[in-house]
Amino acid sequence: MTTTFPKYESYKDSGVDWIGAIPAHWGLKKNKFLLTEKKNTVGKNSSNFTLLSLTLQGVIARDMENPQGKFPAEFNTYKIVKPDDLIFCLFDVEETPRTVGHANQTGMITGAYEIFECGSEIDSRYFYYYYLSLDFDKRLQPLYSGLRKVIKIDAFLGTKSPIPSIEEQKRIVEFLDRTTTDIDRAIAQKQRLIELLQEQKAIAINQAVTKGLNPNVPMQDSGIEWLGKIPKYWKVCALSYVAHLTAGGTPDRSKSQYWNGSIPWLKTGEINYNEITTSEEFITNQGLRNSSAKLASPSTILMAMYGQGVTRGRVAILGIEAAFNQACLAITPHSCLQTKYLYYYLQSAYSFVRDFGNETSQMNLSSGSIGKIRILIPSYEEQSLISQFLDQKIVEFNEGISKQEEMIDSLVLLKQTFIAEAVTGKIKV
């Protein structure tokens, strides 16, 4: 990228490892001479302020009509934020998705963050882009202290930042605003294409497992609202009649001898329309014997019975022998039903399954309710043909999705490179 943009006439060593060389005419100053910390809080006037959050998408207003996440009992200690203020999260820096933000509106934000106003030498947008470039790969590591990787305020204010002229800062900001907007637009187009491919994949699965592969076969009413018409010679019965259902269990967490063994132990978070070939945790034989945990064989289908959002109702196929927790259900088809066909069928039924027969306030599923799900059963030969057809189609869809994801990764990297090189003068804009 740098070969397509001119460079400055001469450079000098900044003396700061994470900056490197900067244009010879640029300055370097400690942040304490460039920023003024703001500590004003809303006090009892929180109702007059918009609640803001620091996110990967920038500083955004929280939706208080449809609130998500946790909120404090009161907001008295929240800090006042005004347009062009800079917001820094200087704790848990390594784990925090985004540690710098630029405010575009008046509002309030958690008092745990540091708020700064830029002096006359600094365009706040330039300073935001500069610290965003450092945040991409957490280059402020030398400033961390303590287990929580905190950057103390004195260390941050004692850090030097590159200072072009205010005119150059504005040119850099204009260039980056324009360039990043174009890249973000291209990324959004790729993401939309991925959504369309996912939708087409879901349609292909649903069509194959509920209508078959031959569009000319006679149809009959299934008697099931969400299924509609189905091939005339297909059978319909409850899942419990054609498969064995087994709920899992969890060894006692307080007993260390039950954990860190050799037996894979699975949770609902590992179930995501995939073949499971490894696990995040392992239990011992003793843990398996002394708990309600069960072993499932390869080719068993696992379903998530618990979980908020999209987790509940998802399925996966085991590629290994593994135990599983009480939030998972193992489904082993009888001889009349092919595992891969049932796996695809349960994928197609996801929207219906996840809200079927909920029996608790947590909207969890039970093995009893899952057993009542109606299953379509073509002949075994047709099940095999459907599975083979979908195996191939899924590969094609996934390859298309992976290609778009790779292009998104390249665009994200290009965006980060533009920002990093523009704010440190590696390119002249």
Average pLDDT over every residue of 176-196: 97
Nearest to 283 by CA among 274, 275, 292: 292
Confidence band, pLDDT 50/70/90 cuts, at residue 359: very low
More confident residue, 326 or 225: 326
For residues 427 and 429, give the distance between their C-alpha atoms in angstroms, rounded to a whole number: 6
Q: pLDDT tens digits for 238-257? A: 999 999 999 999 999 999 99
Instruction: Check: CB of residue 246 under 8 Å from CB of residue 380.
Output: no
**Contact (CB, 8 A) for 232 and 217:** yes
pLDDT digits (tens, 9 = 90+) for 367-395: 998 999 999 999 999 999 999 999 999 99
Grade residue 110 by pLDDT with cuts at 50, 70 and 90. very high
pLDDT, residue 361, reads 44
Checking if the pLDDT of 27 tops 80, the result is yes
- pLDDT-derived band at 39 (thresholds 50, 70, 90) equals very high
Note the pLDDT tens digit of each residue in 283-314. Answer: 999 999 999 889 999 999 999 998 776 889 99
Q: Does 12 score more than 90 pLDDT?
A: yes
Task: Return the structure tokens found at 409.
Answer: 């990764």
C-alpha span between 378 and 384 (Å, rounded):
10
Q: What is the DSSP string of 322-351?
A: EEE-TTEEEEEE-TTS-HHHHHHHHHHTHH
pLDDT interval class at 65 (50, 70, 90):
low
Instruction: Please report the DSSP string for 57-113 in residue order.
Output: TEEEE--SSS--S---S--TTPEEE-TT-EEE--SSTTT-S--EEE--S-EEE-TTS
Q: Over the range 14-52, which residues count as b (16 or more CB within 10 Å of their CB) and which as e?
A: bebebbeebbeebeeeebeebbeebeeebeeebeebebb
Quote the pLDDT of residue 2.
Answer: 44
pLDDT score of 31 more than 70: yes
Residue 71 confidence (pLDDT) above 80: no
Q: What is the mean pLDDT of the chain?
A: 93
For position 69, what pLDDT does the model report?
A: 66
Provide CB contacts within 8 A for 60, sequence distance 6+: 52, 53
Helix, strand, or coil here: 127? helix
Residue 413 tokens, joined: 């990297």
Q: Structural domains in the chain? A: 27-163 (3.90.220.20), 235-377 (3.90.220.20)
